[in-house]
Copies of this chain bind each other. A is one copy, B any other.
Amino acid sequence: MGTPSVEQLRDAVRGFDRLYGLELLSFSETEVTGRVSVREEIKQPAGLVHGGVYASVAESLASLATHVAVAAQGEMAMGLSNSTSFLRPVTEGTVHARGVRLHRGRTTWVWDVTFTDDHDRVCAVTRMTIAVRPMPSPAG
């Protein structure tokens, strides 16, 4: 697949991912990494990084890595389920995310995404199931 360039990585982050500040660092068919800088605007009222941020990052990383891999065969990737467990609050620094593919099936891919803080402590984990489906009409 080759190594994605900085421009490709930046261009892949749009819409919601751009809003909350996802940085995509690398991706391949089997591994994907990214991070988010902790700011007030991604926190919940008690001052911790909002649980939805972890779920959002996992969703994006796993969907993107799957999508790039299957698009060449005329297929598309869509999140089917996102199951996130919160283990340790993060209040500052950077949330680091690393997704590893657990399973590549014909119709579903499964990824484990692990979140760590700046001290390399695991803060959250997500199991993402991605549906792989035939691409709809040309414009799809």
Interface residues of A, Cβ cutoff 8 Å to B: 12, 14-20, 40-46, 48, 50-53, 55-60, 63, 76, 78-89, 102-103, 105, 107-108, 110, 112, 122, 125, 127, 129, 131, 133, 140
Contact = CB atoms under 8 A, between A and B. Distances in A.
20 contacts: A12-B45, A15-B40, A15-B50, A16-B52, A18-B41, A19-B20, A46-B76, A51-B59, A51-B63, A52-B52, A52-B82, A55-B55, A56-B56, A80-B129, A81-B129, A82-B82, A83-B127, A88-B103, A88-B105, A112-B125
A105 B127 contact: no
* Majority-rule SS of A interface residues: mixed
A51 to B, nearest CB: 4
